[in-house]
Amino acid sequence: MLLIYRYLAQKMKKQDPRITRTKEIIQLAFMQILQTRDYSEITVQDILEKANINRSTFYKHYLNKDALATEIIEKLKAESLFPLLEQRFNTPKLEFALKAAPIINALKTTLQTLWKIDTHRVSLKRQIQAEVKKKYIEVVSSQPHSGVTDVEFQGKLFATLSITMMEHIIMSDSPLDPTSVQANLQQVLSYFMLE
């Protein structure tokens, strides 16, 4: 949990140190509660008690718990996940996997915790899946096509496979091993080949 706190603390934009510190306390309290309870069960009152702050302080910084969760997720996406996604299509596959593994392993607890949030308003999983699909379509659309291709279908398929692999990796107790993931993926995809 201390790793999450440090991560969030390092990523705060330059602003009044008191505001930064208060937001860090609120975010840390929220993440600690989220590790042990479902998102739907958490109330602002729970966060207030854990952070040892009053209601007006919370509402000075956040509209509600959705706004708090969204801010944490947006920071994680902007500062860690989306830069990885940009590298995904610009770096050779094995090199990318070897670069991404330590980052994913370091963020594993944070990702596991935030992955639990899946509402119609806030969902890290759905947001990542949408971005992966969008990026895939963007990259593939810029390449010359051979034969009949359905880029929309490919994007959806790529995003679905990617998000399923990511979910398995972050929910697993074992650290990410790119060669093991590759072997498993190749075995599964072999059943899709029409020979």
pLDDT digits (tens, 9 = 90+) for 149-175: 899 999 999 999 999 999 999 999 888
Tell me: the pLDDT tens digits for 63-112?
999 999 999 999 999 999 999 988 888 887 888 888 888 999 999 999 99
- Confidence class for position 148, pLDDT limits 50, 70, 90: low
Closest CA to 175 of 93, 113, 107: 107
Closest CA to 84 of 151, 28, 166: 166
String of b and e for 88-101 (b: at least 16 CB within 10 Å)?
Answer: beeeeeeebbeebb
Q: What percent of the chain has pLDDT over 90?
A: 64
Q: Are 114 and 76 in contact (CB under 8 A)?
A: yes
User: Distance between CA 175 and CA 104 in Å, rounded?
Assistant: 9
- Confidence class for position 195, pLDDT limits 50, 70, 90: confident
User: Distance between CA 116 and CA 39 in Å, rounded?
Assistant: 7
Q: What is the CATH number of domain 2-66?
A: 1.10.357.10
What pLDDT does 11 receive?
A: 52
Tell me: the pLDDT tens digits for 22-71?
999 999 999 999 999 999 999 999 999 999 999 999 999 999 999 999 99
CB atoms within 10 A of CB 2: 7
pTM, full prediction: 0.83
User: Distance between CA 115 and CA 69 in Å, rounded?
Assistant: 11
